[in-house]
Amino acid sequence: MIEALIVDDAPLNLKLLSVLLSSHGYRVRTADTAEQALEILETYLPELLIVDIRLPGMDGLTMVRTLRSQPRYRDVVVVAVTASAMKGDEEVALAAGCDSYITKPIDTRTLPTHLAHCMSRRRTTT
């Protein structure tokens, strides 16, 4: 079972992603702010982190940069999600340390395959 942490300030998105990932064999924890996620990550090391780019307080990319600066989180697969995709956002997310980038609304039919691909690609490169 793959451990996953989802960080999103929209309760509906947390619920949707939690149900979808759980139904595909992930063990899911959630946070609604970057600060809450960082607190959880002090004692929990997921294999997958799905993080909304635009969060209240600390934004998702700042959180990812913080994590990537620490060796403990080097192998965590990070997928950025955003509802307000702008030109160049994907490049910025990848430069911040994200492994992948998806836009909302999330395509629930393709997300599990996309995540499986991200997980397999990350595992073979570490």
pLDDT digits 0-9 by tens, 36-84: 999 999 999 999 999 999 999 999 999 999 999 999 999 999 999 988 7
Which range (1-5, 18-22, 34-38, 89-93) has the least confidence? 89-93
DSSP class of 25:
T
Say if residue 125's pLDDT is above 70: no
pTM: 0.92
Say if residue 114's pLDDT is above 60: yes
Q: Which residues contact 6 (CB under 8 A, 6 or more apart)?
A: 14, 17, 18, 21, 28, 29, 30, 31, 50, 51
Confidence (pLDDT) at 122: 66
Bond into 105 cis (ω within 30): yes
- Band of residue 126 on the pLDDT scale cut at 50, 70, 90: very low
Helices (H), 10-110: 11-23, 34-41, 60-68, 89-96
At residue 84, what is the residue type? S
Domains of the chain: 2-125 (3.40.50.2300)
Separation of first and last alpha carbons in the chain: 19
Tokens of 123: 């595992």
Tokens of 125: 């490169």
Of the two residues 17 and 89, the one the predictor is more confident about is: 17
Q: How many Å apart are CA 110 and CA 54, to the nearest integer?
A: 22
Place of tokens 């911040």: 96
**pLDDT single digits (tens) 6-47:** 999 999 999 999 999 999 999 999 999 999 999 999 999 999
